[in-house]
Structure 1
């Protein structure tokens, strides 16, 4: 038998159910094959009725940006910067694209302080750092000043040592031949 408790989003946000400190998890892999694992975790948390925010720094597309979030179910919100394309390390990034990622980063910092989320996924944050779109110091500051119960998942290849050092869990996926 399966039982489900139905609580409105406004009721859930009025009474915090978590009084423990959130975790910082890192998923890293040279081949960038870890998003399925992270997405499964995000869906599991959202299905339990907690707010989840997925932020993809390098993915663009049609009608993206914080003004057009993707809403998967009641509790999972997905943001991408307002870009017409996906960014990569071998491309020249325009000032407009840099500004779009900055707007996403700044919006994230303000929004998370509201306490509506239990889990935030910063997808490919290590690449955003390598490309100079977000600084390592800014990410460290974000993690230090996040709401106490917030879990944060960082993904990307070649994660900076400073982020690995403060992580509660580091998962390195690799292929065995």
Structure 2
């Protein structure tokens, strides 16, 4: 008997693959059929890795693309003129309100009272934007840092999100070291891990990558 593979073996492989994918699709369709609810989500992007703010701004750009009004309130690094801020203010200000409320990282200002005042002003603006149910999404960029340094009252932030956020408004909170109390009430939490970072190799923050 010849050991030569049958010429139709590749066809058998394709058939097996098609059958496997059909079963996966059927299972996926059954699962998706049970997911028909909608709600305004509390979303947290945290962790030591890069990409927390970038991911938040990506979601804001999705809203803009869908013509859905949104807002951004930047805590801490509001002193930077970032690419996201320039893009939104110059091209999409009719769809996205942008408020840079911070004055820079705490080691740059070296003035705790001023940092606290800026954070509190940012939180007042954030509440205004969230209460406005015309906004589909509100990004609170780096608010976790303000909470970590206790520039804001954590209990107040948690209570507001639980009791005053409109039912269909999404709120995205970014920054390292998200508080457990926020994680507890969130619907979606992503932790960005860090494997390598160019800063450790002596490479500074670069335009188009970090800002």
Please indicate, yes or no, whether the TM-score normalized by the shorter chain is above 0.5: yes
Matches for 1:52-131 after TM superposition, within 5 Å: 52-61=70-79, 71=89, 72-73=91-92, 74-81=94-101, 83=103, 86-88=104-106, 92-131=110-149
When normalised by structure 2's length, the TM-score is 0.63
Distance 1:158 1:46, change over 3 A: same
- How big is each residue's C-alpha offset from its partner over 1:100-147, in whole Å with a ceiling of 9 and x where there is no partner? 221221132134323221101111111101122112112102211111
- How big is each residue's C-alpha offset from its partner over 1:56-81, in whole Å with a ceiling of 9 and x where there is no partner? 11023389xxxxxx635131222111
- How big is each residue's C-alpha offset from its partner over 1:39-71, in whole Å with a ceiling of 9 and x where there is no partner? 1111011211111111111023389xxxxxx63
- State which structure, 1 or 2, has the greater radius of gyration over its C-alpha atoms: 2
1:28 aligns with 2:27: no
Distance in structure 1 (CA, Å) of the matches to 2:141 and 2:63: 17
| Corresponding pairs, count | 151
Unaligned runs of 5+ in 1: 1-18, 64-69
The aligned residue for residue 194 of structure 2 is 175
Aligned to 2:140, what secondary structure does the other structure show? strand
Query: Whose helix fraction is larger, Structure 1's or Structure 2's?
Result: 2
8 Å CA contact 1:43–1:76 kept in 2: the answer is no
Unaligned runs of 5+ in 2: 1-36, 82-87, 197-211
Distance in structure 2 (CA, Å) of the matches to 1:104 and 1:112: 12
Alignment RMSD (CA, Å)? 2.5
Name the stretch that deviates more: 135-144 or 96-105. 96-105
8 Å CA contact 2:148–2:178 kept in 1: the answer is no
Aligned to 1:122, what secondary structure does the other structure show? strand
Distance 1:62 1:90, change over 3 A: closer
